[in-house]
Amino acid sequence: MYLRALTSLADDGTTTCSSEELAASAGVNSAKLRKDLSYLGSYGTRGVGYDVEYLRYQIAREIGVTQDWPVVIVGIGNLGHALANYSGFRSRGFRVVALLDADRDRTGETVAGLDVRAFEDLESIVADNDVSIGVIATPAVAAQSVADRMVAAGITSILNFAPTVLSVPDGVDVRKVDLSIELQILAYHEQRKSVSSEVVS
C-alpha cells in the first residue's frame, strides 16, 4: 500500500513527503507507517520526511518487485479473461507468461495477445520460464487438483480465486481472494445498520 501511495505521489511530481502525508494517502495511522518503514531501515530524515523516489525504490526492492515475476493463470473463463487483460499486473512487476485451460474448445483461443494453452503444458511452461507464482481461476471442484499439479510442477506461491480451502505442502504459500465473502461481510454490517435504526425508530 505504501508503494502504491508513493508511486501515486511521484506521479503527481511530489519529491518529498512526511509520514503524516504518506499515511494519509495510504489510509493508515502515521505511527504505524513509521514503525513499518523502520523495519526496512532508516530511510527518512528527521525534520524533513522521506524522499519519495528513494523510499519507493527501497520498498520495491524489499518486496522484490524490481524484477519481473513470471506468472501463469489457470482457468480462462470469465475471471481468467479479466485477469489476462488486466494491464496493472505488468506495471507492478508481474508478467503473465501463459494462460492454461483444460477445455479443448478454449485452447488455441487468443486472449490479451497470448494463446490459451492446454493444461497439460503446465510442467514444461513452468520449467522453461522459471515460474514460481500461479493463479487459479477454475471452478472450485477443480481447484485442489490444479493446485496439486502446480505444486508438483514447482510453483511455490498460489493466488486462489476459487471458493475452496486448498491444502498444500509446507513451503508453498497460498492467498485466497473470496469475493462472495467480501459481499457477505458488507451484508452483515448492512443488516446491523438497519436493525439498530429500527430500534431507534
Ligand X SMILES: NC(=O)c1ccc[n+]([C@@H]2O[C@H](COP(=O)([O-])OP(=O)(O)OC[C@H]3O[C@@H](n4cnc5c(N)ncnc54)[C@H](O)[C@@H]3O)[C@@H](O)[C@H]2O)c1
Among residues 82 and 186, whose Cβ is nearest to DNA? 186
Residue carrying the nine cell digits 498444500? 168
Instruction: Burial-class residue 102 by CB neighbours within 10 Å (0-12, 13-18, 19+).
Output: middle
Q: Residue with C-alpha cell 485466497?
A: 176
Considering only 6, 9, 33, 75, the residue that binds ligand X (CB under 6 A) is 75
Is 113 part of any known ligand binding site?
Answer: no
Q: How many angstroms separate the CA atoms of 78 and 47, rounded?
A: 51
77 is in an annotated binding site: yes
Burial class (CB in 10 A: 0-12, 13-18, 19+), 184: exposed
127 binds its own copies (CB under 8 A): no
- Check residue 93 for interaction with its own copies (CB under 8 A): yes
Instruction: Give dist(CA 60, CA 135) in Å, integer.
Output: 22
- Nearest to its own copies of 48, 82 (CB atom): 82
97 makes contact, choosing from DNA, its own copies, ligand X, none, with CB < 5 to 8 Å by partner type, with none
Our finding on whether 50 is near ligand X (CB under 6 A) is no
C-alpha 80/C-alpha 186 separation (Å) is 25
- Binding mask of the shown chain, residues 105 to 124, with x at each position contacting ligand X by CB under 6 A: -x------------x-----
**Is residue 48 helix, strand or coil?**
coil
Residue 119 binding result from its own copies, ligand X, DNA, none, given CB thresholds of 5 to 8 Å by partner type: ligand X
**Is residue 149 within the footprint of its own copies (CB under 8 A)?**
no
Binding-site annotation: residue ranges for NAD(+) = 75-80
Binding residues: 75-80
